[in-house]
Amino acid sequence: MAGQLYLCATPIGNLEDMTFRAVRILKEVDMIAAEDTRNSIKLLNHFEIKTKMTSYHEYNKVDKARYLVDKIQQGLNVALITDAGTPGISDPGEELVKQCHEAGITVTSIPGACAAVNALIISGRSTRRFAFEAFLPPDKKERREILKTLEDETRTMIIYEAPHRLVRTLNELYQLLGDRKLTICKELTKRHETVFLTTFSEALKYYEKEAPRGEYILVIEGKSFQELKEESQEGFLQYSIEEHMELYLSKGIEKKQAMKQVAKDRGITKREVYQALLGEKNS
């Protein structure tokens, strides 16, 4: 019978966050696939885990995933761990998970720490709806396209950033989103954990004097629906009501429904639309 793939979350800083179940599974499986074996050996030694390890990282993820799938089909149980946190979140683990599902292999998760979720819940920002962007792409064109999609994002946004790129990213987001509220989290679960509720302008002033150090997570307030509505209305106001009506009529929408939509777009009543159209017709 085929084995299973276990996605085992590991601590993001504080070793006490390792779960009993994760330790047991890592001791019981036949093989551990680790993003960085040099880093993971310290964790395994701490918990006296002697299981054989193999490397699985961004640069070998496709071929190594095929190798691991083959081993699991032969009956081995394999655990996947990342450098810190939950595997499969912004790391090469998703490729292995995909290949396992394609091969009909059972995949299960051993839950634990996740930096994005930890940052979100202590950020003081809305947690009901959120968009996780991880690290923004280094390629300028791709980065620009991703940033553009965030301009009208109404969900809370979560972005990871390295210290040497933090100021640049804060500047880019400030130019795009305006002086939005955000929370900057650093060194989560560690002794010097920092949670900084601020705005883009305040943060940029702060980092003019304080050099960024450590790994950062930005939790950014989304655009309000009221802002979107006001911006949409401003855009439609460039048209006369008759021109606005024509936008919908030209799409085959019946007149009554078009009037209703124009009223909604402009934040006025349907009666006001009717009177305006009547006035334009008479004039």
Please, which residues have CB within 8 angstroms of residue 102's CB and are 6 or more apart in sequence? none
Token pair recorded at residue 111: 């839950």
- In this prediction the pTM is 0.79
Check residue 253 and give its pLDDT: 85
Check residue 281 and give its pLDDT: 60
Tens digit of each residue's pLDDT (9 = 90 or more) over 90-145: 889 999 999 999 999 999 999 999 999 999 999 999 999 999 999 999 898 999 89
Confidence of residue 248 (pLDDT cuts 50, 70, 90): confident
Mean pLDDT of the chain: 91
Report, in this order, helix, strand and coil percent for the chain, each rounded to 5.
50, 20, 35
Cα–Cα distance, 255 to 129 (Å, whole number): 36
Tally: H helices and E strands in the chain: 12, 10
Instruction: Please measure the distance between the N-terminal and C-terminal CA atoms of the chain and give it in whole angstroms.
Output: 83
Give percent of the chain with pLDDT exceeding 70. 95
Check residue 101 and give its pLDDT: 97
Give percent of the chain with pLDDT exceeding 90. 71
- Count of C-beta atoms within a 10 Å radius of residue 239: 15
* Rounded average pLDDT over 238-263: 82
Confidence of residue 259 (pLDDT cuts 50, 70, 90): confident
Please work out, in degrees rounded to the nearest 5, the angle formed at the alpha carbon of residue 224 by the alpha carbons of 218 and 230: 140
In contact, 27 and 15? CB cutoff 8 Å: no
Tens digit of each residue's pLDDT (9 = 90 or more) over 153-212: 889 999 999 999 999 999 999 999 999 999 999 999 999 999 999 999 999 999 999 999
- Count of C-beta atoms within a 10 Å radius of residue 77: 18
Question: Is the confidence at residue 44, as pLDDT, over 90?
Answer: yes
In contact, 42 and 14? CB cutoff 8 Å: no
Q: Is 24 helix (H, G, I), strand (E, B) or coil?
A: helix
Question: Is the confidence at residue 272, as pLDDT, over 90?
Answer: no
Check residue 233 and give its pLDDT: 60
Check residue 162 and give its pLDDT: 95
Question: Is the confidence at residue 283, as pLDDT, over 60?
Answer: no
* Rounded average pLDDT over 19-31: 98
Confidence of residue 244 (pLDDT cuts 50, 70, 90): confident
Confidence of residue 242 (pLDDT cuts 50, 70, 90): confident
